[in-house]
Amino acid sequence: MSIRMTKPWIELTPAAMATLPGQLGVYQLADAEGRVVYIGAAGGRTLFGLRSELERALAERPAGATRFRFEVNQQYTTRHLELLMLHVADHGSLPVVNATDPPPRLGRLSPL
Amino acid sequence: MNLEPTEEQRQIVATVRRFVREEIVPLEAKLDPDASELPPEDFARLTAQVRAMGFWGLDIPGEYGGAGVDLVTRTLMAVEMSQHRAGLYVPCYGVFGTAGLAQLYEATAAQKERYLMPMLRGEKRGFFGLTEPSGGSDPARAIRTRAVKDGSDWVINGSKIFISGADRAHFGLVFARTDADKGRGGITCFIVDTDMKGFHVRRVVHTLRSSSYATELQFEDLRVPEGNVLGEIGKGFAIANDRLTRQRIPYAAACIGVAVKAQAMAIDYAKQRETFGAPLATRQAVQWMIVDNEIDIQTSLWLTLAAAHKADRGEPYRMEAGMAKLVATEAGGRVVDRAMQIHGGYGMTKDLPFERWYREMRIRRVGEGPNEVQRHVIARDLLGGGLR
């Protein structure tokens, strides 16, 4: 099982928003060069789950985000932390937007 | 046996109940339904309140600065402290302090200075590394992680799974086989620093308890100095057995607390929700669920208090602690399930705490020694030695 998110990127456009589920899960935002700039989670307090979160991303375009990918996942809390730890393991730091408000006491992974 | 709480215990219970209702529950309304931590500022504020009440460090012995409460009082407090959404696994989000790793109270003076005291001050975190991919219920036979003496060091190779908190820990207790021929007597406990070369957290293990994860560890030629052996060589399982038995009682009590809260919510809802022109509470099907809930709660509570009383009297209580754990975890699951049924569709949503309790309560039947192992241990106590 791949623990990294490997789904294809989707352009961050109004048309794409209409196809999104209202379920809970995790997502990544990337800039035009394909760098992951933010890893987020749509938790149990969001009004329309992933759709709400990604519509906000479309409006704000943090760090120039132009594309996204997502996973529907009830375990959004632990999956979100896992993706953040994997990013640190692969790149040495958090995505640029997450780095401005890092989670307290993020763990360390050294995946094979 | 008189299991009624004393006047002092009643006052303590009332204080903790008020704290949970006035401080913890309102905060949860703003947190994610699967949250397991408070924002740092709230954690600091509430920890200070608990310290001022004299309740901080409930499981820490008095000589180490803990509250030093007896086990009956601890049980009554645990029943109250768990009566909120996150209460089963993180009662009051940890603001009452945690005992950490019980085995470290048996450490040498130097080990206590380096690991125990910083852990109690909240400066260091530890993990407990026992279970392996080859098994967890019978670790004496399942442990394949090996430690081999090399000069004055021990070199550890192997892996562990379902280990909580290892990715955020500063150190951990790792059980490894130091003698292949001795079974239970060939297991030694080592204190391992997580910044040592050869220590790896390979992956996150997601479970039903989606507020928190476990990890899988790998040790590759992990070199541990001789001074980091905890206890004696080959006696890893002899460390802190009494403290571990003691922990089963608040573990059971937390299940009871959640069941009490679920039952209170079920009763409230049954009285106000109407179907076919009458409240649910008038329906025999619902009445019987509520009655069965109460029987489950009372049975668990009296059994757990009886175990705590026996421990406080200084009598052997391993069997009673095992029974309390077993009965409370199974009863708690039934109570939450019935309360969800009474709430219908709302009971399944993340708007209410039931779905989290339902998932987490299921884990309690496996955690802290699976209930089948508890039955096995109780059978040995009843039938005498010689049984394996």
| Nearest alpha carbon to residue B79 among B323, B319, B263, B320 | B263
Give per-residue pLDDT as tens, B217-247. Answer: 999 999 999 999 999 999 988 886 777 788 8
Give per-residue pLDDT as tens, A30-53. Answer: 999 999 999 999 999 999 999 999
Contacts of A106 in chain B (CB under 8 A): 168
A93 touches chain B (CB under 8 A): no
Three-state SS sequence of B245-288:
HHHHHHHHHHHHHHHHHHHHHHHHHHHHCEECCEEHHHCHHHHH
Secondary element (H or E) of residue A69: strand A67-72
A101 touches chain B (CB under 8 A): no
Contact yes or no for B118/B190 (Cβ under 8 A): no
The shortest CB-CB distance from A43 to any of B32, B167, B206 is to: B32
**Rounded CA gap, A104 and A110, in Å?**
19
Cite the beta strand spans of chain B per DSSP E. Answer: 126-129, 146-150, 153-164, 171-177, 187-193, 199-205, 214-225, 229-230, 274-275, 278-279
- Given pLDDT bands bounded at 50, 70 and 90, which one contains residue B387? low
Partners of B189 in the β-ladder:
B175, B230
The answer to whether residue B100 scores a pLDDT higher than 70 is yes
Give per-residue pLDDT as tens, B135-166. Answer: 877 877 889 999 999 999 999 999 999 999 99
Inter-chain CB proximity B32 and A45 less than 8 Å? yes
Q: What pLDDT does residue B319 have?
A: 95
Rounded to two decimals, the ipTM of the complex is 0.90
Q: What pLDDT does residue B386 have?
A: 63
Q: Measure the N-to-C terminal CA separation of chain B; round to a whole number of Å.
A: 33
**Rounded CA gap, B113 and B98, in Å?**
18
Secondary element (H or E) of residue B380: helix B371-383
Which tokens go with B302? 């009296």
- Given pLDDT bands bounded at 50, 70 and 90, which one contains residue A63? very high
Respond yes or no: is residue B368 known to be catalytic. Answer: yes
A100 touches chain B (CB under 8 A): no
- The residue among B101 and B85 whose pLDDT is bigger is B85
Q: What pLDDT does residue A2 have?
A: 61
Q: Kindly report the number of other CB atoms within 10 A of residue B298's CB atom.
A: 12
Q: The whole model's pTM is what?
A: 0.93
